[in-house]
Structure 1
Amino acid sequence: MPANPNCYGSFGQPSVNQNFVYVGNVEKDEDGSVELSTIYGPWTLEEDIFRRRLKYFFMNPYEKFQARSRIPWKMFIQILKIVIFTYQLIDFGSLRSLHIEFMETTNLALKHLYLKDWTTSYETMPYPPSMGKMACYTDQEFFQSVDFILNRYNETESIAIGNFSPAQENGTTPPVEMCVHKYKEGVIWAFNQTFIFDSRVIKDCFKVMPVFDPPSNLSVYNIEKFLESVNRTINFDSLIRITLHFNLNTVHLKSLHRSSDPDCFLLNVRILFDNSEHSGQMLLLLETYVNDVTCKGDVLFDQGVDISEVFSWIFNGIVLIICFVSSILCLRSFHRAIVLKKDTVKFFETNYPSVIEVTWSDKMDFVDMWYILIIINDLLTGAGCICKIFIQMKMNTNYEICGILLGTGSLFAWFGVLRYLAMFKSFNVLIVTLKRAALSVFQFFICAFFIFIAFSICGWIVLGPYHIKFRELTTSLECLYSLINGDDIYTTFATMNQVSTGVWLFSRLYLYMFISLFIYVVLSMFITIIADTYDSIKVYSYSESFHF
């Protein structure tokens, strides 16, 4: 559908003298149909009015303002949305950062409290890692670790710097729950490599209580003696995993002011002894699950109103109103486009029933995908704002869903600006280049994808046992994608285990082939596709017939 304002003349009411204007001949396709964009012929008064209506519809906001001095409200609202949404995202990001930082430091504090021999070396993330995972290798290490956890749990309130306290039940500290997952039967005789196993898994959960120690005349926590007292044993041959469960209460004070009251949480602590591999290494993991609970305390503030809290509520209301208004304006424009499309089809069916056929591509010209993007953006941002309000009211703590909604909404809001940048030729060239090259780039990516997957699977299978970056299929994909961008190439070569000379030589050939193919060939071809499209678009960008 043509959109050049210079090809139709002035934009006033049609006069009688304009009833017939010669503009060329009718051009038909091979099948006899005529594209809507190639319609030529004499115009009647009705046709001229309808032509001007179509012309105005396909104008950009700036051209509409020049033609009828119509204020582009949607454009102003989209620009305002970017400013407001970005500020809201920054505000939510700072709120979420405080929450995530508290959860991470709380988890580290619990590891220092309950895991025997835990050190700060486990908290860093060097690459490659400087030390292995925390684990037990002997039965005595396991029993000592469990005893350490049980004793620390009952001493938590008195020894911890943080405000942790076991969740009380009827005024008493509840015992730790131990759950043993094991095969119904499992015995291994390693000396002659024989075994007997029943693959059915049994889960046995029970409360761990202190036992009486005669020498000290006190009740102490000793897991070996307790298991003996309840006629239970730990068979490491059939053992899959053991979990210890207990709950802690805690309060997050933050910085006390009216818009930031303390938060209260119930921490579900789960300590896992993982023996599922039966490799002689029982991994030790501590996981914390946070539940928000209602606080019962009170904080005394100075008299007066907290301006920041009032501003936060007003700002959330403004965001919801802008989302609503923006969606209504886009839906109205979308409705008008559908009505005009139907009128256009009816007009040509009535006036040119056997000459002109409105094709599917012509009909799609009336559908502005930018409006759909803006509506989706408004829905995501509105839902994220409501979620944020619930978090501020302490009715919800799902920061992840709220972050996804607000982050995606902000992403689409910034993308929506491209629609208005397309009014300028220099910016429009970039947008049209991406549009014209999309099909070629997609076809190219399909071919490159199969080559990439082939290298990833090969690296995972061959190099996985000898290289930390190829241990899993996902890490293999991530490693190769990093190599394409020239990241960490030397480390990938240097961290290859040299236990097997054949695999080591294969790794060199494999890495050299992949890097040479993707960096020097695939990326160069990708850049060439974009560059060729850009050059062809740039040639026509200065002609009057170039339009997006």
Structure 2
Amino acid sequence: MGAHHSRSQRAIAARVVWARPMTRPPPPVPFKGQAGPRFGGLGLCSGGWSFCSSPRPSRRGQRDPRRMEISLKCLPGGRAPSCGNMMAQSDLDLKETALKEDLKFYFMNPCDKYRARHQIPWKLALQILKIVMVTSQLVFFGLSNQLVVSFKEENTVAFKHLFLKGYSGVDEDDYSCSIYTQQDAYDSIFYVIDQYRQLKNISLGTLGYEHDGSGLKICKQQYRKGGMLPSDDKPNIDVSTETDCIILKPQELASKNTEVNLNSSFFNLEFYRLIQVKISFKLKGVALQTIHARELPDCYAFQNTITFNNRAHSGKIKIYFNSDTDIQECKEWHILSSVLQKNSLYILVFDGFVILNCLASLILCSRSVVLALRLRQRFVNFFLEKYNRCVSYTDRMEFINGWYVLVIISDVMTITGSILKMEIKAKNLTSYDVCSILLGTSTLFVWVGVIRYLGYFQTYNVLILTMQASLPKVLRFCCCAGMIYLGYTFCGWIVLGPYHEKFEDLNTVAECLFSLVNGDDMFATFAQIQQKSMLVWTFSRLYLYSFIILFIYMILSLFIALITDAYDTIKKYQQSGFLATDLHEFLKDCGNVSYRKEQTSMPFICCCRRQQSDDNLILIN
């Protein structure tokens, strides 16, 4: 009896100790993630395992009654056969509450996150600042690139007028001009040589010869020796080719011995076996118009090539002119202006700030993606533990924020393009095209990313939801329509190619048919077909009419119907509610989760509260 009485007294004393409220709340345990604070945990107390502090108190200094009941029942000497199950169930409930809190916070917009925890939306602020800086950078680079492109194009036109005899100012087709007699061929070749010799006296631009030993290089390609008579129906031609070249330097052209060289046997052309004559020369120039834009001038190297093409041997020699332009660093220049140097320095500093801004955005978005993947893994593990089933693919993809991925790609491209731009500005790099592609594409992605923040408003997110809903069907539809489109492309190229300039090659055929789908240039396509063959002319009408009827009145209408159907579906869901997935059902009853910070004040960008319940919000990632 004494021992039993002693045990009863100890049990009563233990109940009194555990029921006494704490005079000081336990310190919070920080949690590495997106969730709120976690309190307490499982510890070893006097008398056995129990929870030594409240896991999530509603107010300071108070215990969770549910935990108190478990602690009393699980004391040594008690008779609670389900003590382990109750503690495991309590752990699972706490884990579920914490997970719901983390999930709800993850799917909040920046303003709601600020109201919940006073977390400043740094990513939003960086994106707004980045839009301004990246767009300004693109405008500055575009103005500079426009000067470069215009200088190249104007010099190309000037070269054609300088070196092509009889050039009218307009290219005949893909070639500049053409000749039809042997005398015209000789005159055109010698005209190029003479113009090159007196370039400094006749040119209006800042042009000069290269001093690297190169000069005017003339090469002729022809078949090997053979015989051909106009009255002979059996030509004797060796199809293997040979190429002979000579180089005329500027110093040699200025001497009197040039006339002797021009009368050499090299210029005795046998046109029946001549394939082509190619004249190439290199010039240099300086673009001074950049000074007016307060930029340092650029030095250019022009590699010009004139080709007399006689491959067809049809009695018509086509003359092609090609000019490849490279920007080079001006060596040992002396510019008496400090404004140009300061302006270049300011632009380099601005590009540096753009890189820092994009680097900070890249780090924050990458961190958010990593935390989202961890949160998804917690959600998957919890579902498997509590419900013994896997999370669907749709719910898994809710955690993949495509906007963050787009921002990361945009930041990488902007940083790379800004580095190239700084090298171009410092005259250490001359690749404008690569830099233009990087900066242009990154700016496109930045502005497309703005749609994400409009998607937080129910009246603005219709476009995003419609695109998401219709994209799979549109892609499948385009695959089927693309097969028909390719069939028409190949058919039009092989049949109408010899009779219509818009069907000469596959690329041109595809562009022509695409313009017909949009209703452009229809009459010209019908009218330009040559009526040399009645069979081909009839086929062209059947071909064009069937294509227009099929694609404009059927395929294009079905394409629009798919998007319209997706839009109607979204509008119906907005009125009656969207289909709830496991993730939506899991988050329905977490609207009363409290956070450690209450809203006391908010910035001006978060002044508008939502009027609707958070339970019906659409998860947009």
When normalised by structure 2's length, the TM-score is 0.74
Question: Is the 1:182–1:238 Cα contact (8 Å) retained in structure 2?
Answer: yes
Residue number in structure 2 paired with 1:423: 456
Following TM superposition, by how much is the alpha carbon of 1:360 offset from its aligned partner in structure 2, in angstroms?
A: 4.3
**How many residues are aligned here?**
496
Inter-CA distance 373–489: structure 2 relative to 1 (3 Å threshold): same
User: Where does residue 393 of structure 1 map in the other structure?
Assistant: 426
Please point out which of 478, 481, 484 is paired with 1:451: 484
Q: Give the CA deviation at 1:69.
A: 2.5
**Structure-2 change in CA distance of 1:193 and 1:84 (3 Å):** farther
Aligned partners of 2:224 and 2:241 also within 8 Å: yes
Q: For residue 444 of structure 2, what is the aligned residue in structure 1? A: 411
Q: Which amino acid counterpart does residue 98 of structure 2 have in structure 1?
A: I
* Residues 1:295 and 1:268: Cα distance change in structure 2 (over 3 Å): same
Contact in 1 for aligned 2:209/2:282 (Cα 8 Å): yes
Structure 1 Cα separation of the partners of residues 382 and 106 of structure 2: 16
Counterpart pick for 1:250 among 276, 285, 289:
285
Question: C-alpha distance in 2, partners of 1:541/1:42?
Answer: 37
| Counterpart secondary structure, 1:466 | coil
1:137 to 180, 184, 199: 180
Aligned-residue offset at 1:160: 1.1
For residue 31 of structure 1, what is the aligned residue in structure 2? none
Please, which of 346, 349, 365 is the counterpart of residue 311 of structure 1?
346
SS of the residue aligned with 2:276?
strand
Distance change in 2, residues 1:343/1:42 (3 Å): closer
Q: Do residues 336 (structure 1) and 371 (structure 2) align?
A: yes
In structure 2, the partner of 1:4 is: none
Q: 2:220 aligns with which of 180, 183, 197?
A: 180
Find 1:90's aligned residue among 128, 139, 142. 139
Deviation, 1:53, is 1.4
Instruction: Point out where structure 1 has 5 or more consecutive residues left out of the alignment.
Output: 1-11, 20-40, 124-128
Contact 1:252 1:264 in 2 (8 A): yes
> In the alignment, does 2:68 pair up with 1:68?
no
Say which SS state the counterpart of residue 120 (structure 1) adopts: coil
2:170–2:176 CA contact under 8 A, matched in 1: no
* Partner residue, 1:44: 93
Measured at CA, do residues 209 and 362 of structure 1 come closer, stay the same or move farther in structure 2, by a change above 3 Å?
A: closer
Contact 2:175 2:320 in 1 (8 A): no
2:334 corresponds to: 298
Contact 2:344-2:425 at 8 Å conserved across structures: no
The aligned runs of 1:81-480 (5 Å cut-off) are: 81-122=130-171, 133-168=176-211, 175-185=215-225, 187-208=227-248, 219-221=257-259, 225-226=263-264, 228=265, 233-256=268-291, 259-291=294-326, 292-301=328-337, 308-349=343-384, 351-352=385-386, 355-480=388-513
Shift of 1:358: 3.2
Equivalent residues of 1:14, 1:49 under 8 A apart: no
1:326 maps to a residue whose letter is S
Preserved CA contact (<8 Å) 1:112 1:118: yes
Partners of 1:332 and 1:157 in 2: CA distance? 61
Say if 2:543 is the partner of 1:494. Answer: no
Runs of 5+ consecutive residues of structure 2 not aligned to the other structure: 1-54, 59-63, 68-89, 578-615
Q: Post-superposition shift, 1:208?
A: 4.1
Contact 1:186 1:237 in 2 (8 A): no
Contact 1:147 1:223 in 2 (8 A): no
Partner of 2:324: helix, strand, or coil?
strand
Query: What amino acid is the match of 1:356?
Result: R
CA shift digits 1:159-201 (9 cap, x unpaired)? 111122222358xxx6421122233455544534323344433
**Is the CA contact (8 Å cut-off) linking 1:182 and 1:203 kept in structure 2?**
yes
| Alpha-carbon distance in 1 for matches of 2:296, 2:559 | 53
Structure with higher Rg: it is: 2
The superposition leaves residues 129-168 of structure 1 with CA deviations (integer Å, 9 ceiling, x where unpaired) of: 7x98511222221111110010110100011111222223
| TM-score normalised according to structure 1 size | 0.83
Provide the residue aligned with 1:25 in structure 2: none
Instruction: Output one character per residue of 1:508-539: Cα deviation in whole Å (capped at 9) or x when no partner.
Output: 22211111111111111111110011001111
Q: Per the alignment, in what secondary structure is the counterpart of residue 461 of structure 2?
A: helix
Cα distance change, pair 441–186 in 1 and its aligned pair in 2 (3 A): farther
Q: Over aligned residues, Cα RMSD in angstroms?
A: 2.9
Residues of 1 paired with 2:543 and 2:192: CA distance?
Answer: 47
Deviation of 1:306 (Å): 6.3
Letter in 1 for 2:219: C
Percent of aligned pairs sharing the same letter: 37
Q: Cα 1:221–1:324, aligned 2, differ >3 Å: closer, same or farther? A: farther
One-letter amino acid matched to 2:181? T
Q: Deviations over 1:370-421 (max 9, x none)?
A: 2111111011111111111111111111111111101111111112112221
Q: Distance in 2 between matches of 1:504 and 1:258?
A: 56
The residue that corresponds to 1:38 in the other structure is none
Cα distance between partner residues in 2 of 1:113 and 1:132: 16
Q: CA deviation at 1:79?
A: 2.0
Query: Aligned in 2, Cα 1:18/1:420: closer, same or farther, shift over 3 Å?
Result: farther
- In structure 2, what residue type is equivalent to 1:410? T
Contact 1:540 1:546 (C-alpha < 8 Å) held by counterparts: no
After superposition, the Cα gap between the structure-2 partners of 1:189 and 1:304, relative to the gap in structure 1 and judged at 3 Å, is: closer
**Amino acid in structure 2 at the alignment position of 1:378:** D
Cα deviation 1:71-122 (Å, max 9, x = unaligned): 2111221122122111111111111110010011111111111111112233
